[in-house]
Amino acid sequence: MKICRFNDNRLGLVEADEVLDVSEALGVLPALRYPYPVCDQLIAHLPELRARIATLAPTAMRLPLAQVRLLAPVANPGKIIAAPVNYVNHLKEVLADPNLHHDNQINHIERAGLFLKAGSSLAGAADGVTLVLPDRRTDHEVELVAVIGRAARNVKAADALAYVAGYTIGLDITIRGPEERSLRKSPDSYTVLGPWLTTADEINDPGNLAVELLINGQTRQKTTTSELILGVEALIEFASRFYTLHPGDLIFTGTPEGVSPIHAGDMMIASIEGLGDLQVQIMPALAL
C-alpha cells in the first residue's frame, strides 16, 4: 500500500497516477490527551488504518496525483536518525575533498555512529527546500529511509525488518562547513520526505534497491542500496542499542557518492526503486 498525506492534511492512497482520498480512515486514530505519546499516531495505528483504507478505497474520490500537494508522509516522527557516512564510495569522496570534510573528523560509520536531525526540518515534496545560507555550499543527499513501525529496543539484525512499517525517500540537505552535523542539516525544510510511504510488505529486500538523484535532468547520484556499509537491519540493531525506537521514528540510511551543490531554481528528482519519484524545487533564500 502506498499512503500519502496531501493538501490540507488529507490522507491518500496512491494508485498509479491517481490519489484516492481516504481521509475518513483517520477516524480510527485515538483521541489523545496531554501528555501525548512520543510516537507518530498514524504509524502506530497503521494496521487498523490500512484495514479502514481498504474498505473506503472502492468508493473514494480520485484525484490526479499531479494536482495534489504532497506533504511529508510521516507527520510527527519522534526522532529523525541519520547515518553519517554509510557508503564506501561516499566515504572516499569525503576524505578526498576538503570542501566536503572541512577538517571534521570523518570516520567509518561503526566508529562515527549516528546523528539526529531536528523534527522542525521535516518537509514534503510540495514544500520545496528553502536555502537559509545561500552563500554557503549546500548539497543534496538522497537516502533510503526506513520508518519504524513498533517499539524496538536491543533488536537483533536478524529480527529487525519486523520492526519496519515501510520505506520512503529522504533528502538530507546539508550545509558544508565546520559546524556540528545536527546544526548544518537541520534548518527548516532540510529534511525532505516522500513522495509517500510504501508499506514494508511491498519491498522484498531493502538491501537491493536502485537509487538515483537528478538535478535539472542530470544524474548526480546513482547506486543501489546493496552498497550500504550498514544495511537497514544493521542500522536498527545499532540504533536500538542506544535508544528505544518508536513508531514513526525515521532512519536515514546515508547517501552514496555524487553529492554536489544545489542552487535556487534547481529541480531535484530523487528516485528509489519501488518507492516513487520525489520531486523537489529549490527555493530562493528568504529575505532577512
Least spacing, CB of residue 133 vs Mn ion, in Å: 18
Rounded to 5°, the CA angle 245-75-210 comes to 75
Half-sphere exposure of 98 (CA within 13 A, CB side): 0
Residue nearer to Mn ion on the CB measure, 148 or 259? 259
Residue nearer to Mn ion on the CB measure, 80 or 214? 80
Least spacing, CB of residue 39 vs Mn ion, in Å: 23
Can you list the positions of beta strands (E) in the chain?
Answer: 2-6, 10-15, 18-21, 61-64, 70-71, 80-82, 115-117, 122-123, 129-130, 138-139, 142-148, 164-172, 174-175, 191-199, 210-215, 218-224, 250-252, 267-272, 276-283
Contacts with Mn ion: how many residues (CB under 5 A)? 3
Residue nearer to Mn ion on the CB measure, 26 or 112? 112
Least spacing, CB of residue 268 vs Mn ion, in Å: 14
Least spacing, CB of residue 168 vs Mn ion, in Å: 15
Q: Is 139 in the site for Mn ion (CB under 5 A)?
A: no
Output the CA–CA distances (angstroms, integers) from residue 66 to 52, 89, 107, 234, 277, in the order listed: 25, 35, 42, 36, 12
Q: Is 212 in the site for Mn ion (CB under 5 A)?
A: no
Q: Which stretch binds Mn ion (CB under 5 A): 33-41, 133-141, 190-198, 267-275?
A: 133-141
Q: Between β-strands 210-215 and 218-224, what pairing exists: parallel, antiparallel or unpaired?
A: antiparallel
Q: Is 172 in the site for Mn ion (CB under 5 A)?
A: yes
CA-based nearest residue to 114, from 227, 254, 248, 211: 254
Residue from the set 255, 258, 259, 275 that interacts with Mn ion by CB under 5 A: 255
Residue nearer to Mn ion on the CB measure, 172 or 233? 172
Residue from the set 141, 212, 233, 249 that interacts with Mn ion by CB under 5 A: 141
Q: Which stretch binds Mn ion (CB under 5 A): 96-104, 160-168, 190-198, 251-259?
A: 251-259
Residue nearer to Mn ion on the CB measure, 130 or 174? 174
Least spacing, CB of residue 148 vs Mn ion, in Å: 18
Q: Is the dihedral of CA 95, 98, 100, 105 positive or negative?
A: positive
Residue nearer to Mn ion on the CB measure, 12 or 207? 207
Return phi, psi of residue 220, to 5°: -115, -40
Q: Which of residues 258-277 bind Mn ion (CB under 5 A)?
A: none
CA-based nearest residue to 76, from 174, 5, 28, 169: 5
Binding residues vs Mn ion (CB under 5 A): 141, 172, 255
